[in-house]
Amino acid sequence: MEIMAADQEPVWREKTIRFAGKCSWSPGRHLAERMRDNDFADWEKVFAAVQDGEVTGFCVFENDGRIPEEFDCHPFINLVFVDEGYRGQRISEKLITAALQYAEGLGYRKVYLKSEHRGLYEKYGFRKIADFVPVAGRADQLFEIGINVRGTDRDLSEMTILWQIRERGVLKAGTTGDYRPLSYPDPVTGGYAGFDAELAEDLADELGVGIEYVKTSWSSLMADTAAGRFDLAVCGITISDARKEQALLSDGYLVNGKTILCRAEDADRYTGIDDVNRPGVRVMVNPGGLNEQFAREHLPDAALMIHEANPEIPAMVACGQADIMITETVEAGYYAGLDDRLAAPLIREPFTHGELGILMPKGSEDLLDYVNGFLRKEKESGRIDELAHKYLCRQHGT
Given a contact cutoff of 8 angstroms between Cβ atoms, the answer to whether 262 and 201 are in contact is: no
Residue 188 and residue 52 share a domain: no
Domain count for the chain, please give it.
3
Given a contact cutoff of 8 angstroms between Cβ atoms, the answer to whether 175 and 351 are in contact is: no
Q: How far apart are CA 154 and CA 151, in angstroms?
A: 7
Distance from chain centroid for Cα 43: 35
Residue 147 and residue 213 share a domain: no
Q: What is the pLDDT of residue 152?
A: 40
Residue 361 and residue 348 share a domain: no
105-147: per-residue pLDDT in tens? 788 888 999 999 988 888 788 889 999 999 878 899 999 998 7
Q: What is the pLDDT of residue 122?
A: 86
Range of the domain at 249: 165-255+355-396
Single residue among 159, 182, 201 that ends a domain in this structure: 159
Q: What is the pLDDT of residue 154?
A: 47
User: How distant, in Å, are the alpha carbons of 286, 299, 306, 310, 331 from that of 324?
Assistant: 12, 11, 12, 13, 13
Residue 184 and residue 151 share a domain: no
Q: How far apart are CA 269 and CA 259, in angstroms?
A: 14
Q: How far apart are CA 298 and CA 276, in angstroms?
A: 10
Residue 13 has what DSSP assignment? H
Give which of 18, 10, 138, 33 is closest to 83, Cα–Cα. Answer: 18
Residue 113 and residue 72 share a domain: yes
Residue 117 and residue 86 share a domain: yes
Single residue among 159, 190, 206 that ends a domain in this structure: 159
Domain of 175, CATH number, reads: 3.40.190.10
Residue 385 and residue 348 share a domain: no
Given a contact cutoff of 8 angstroms between Cβ atoms, the answer to whether 261 and 342 are in contact is: yes
The residues, ordered by sequence, that sit 6+ positions from 186 with a Cβ below 8 Å of its Cβ are 192, 193, 197
Residue 117 and residue 21 share a domain: yes
Below-70 pLDDT ranges, the chain: 148-159, 393-398
Domain of 120, CATH number, reads: 3.40.630.30
* CB-count exposure of residue 220 (10 Å: 0-12, 13-18, 19+): middle
Residue 215 and residue 247 share a domain: yes
Residue 82 and residue 41 share a domain: yes
Given a contact cutoff of 8 angstroms between Cβ atoms, the answer to whether 363 and 146 are in contact is: no
Q: What is the pLDDT of residue 151?
A: 38
Quote the mean pLDDT of the chain. 90
Residue 80 and residue 6 share a domain: yes
**Residues 186, 192, 195, CA angle at the centre, nearest 5°?**
110
Residue 99 and residue 45 share a domain: yes
Q: What is the pLDDT of residue 148?
A: 57
Single residue among 143, 159, 175 that ends a domain in this structure: 159
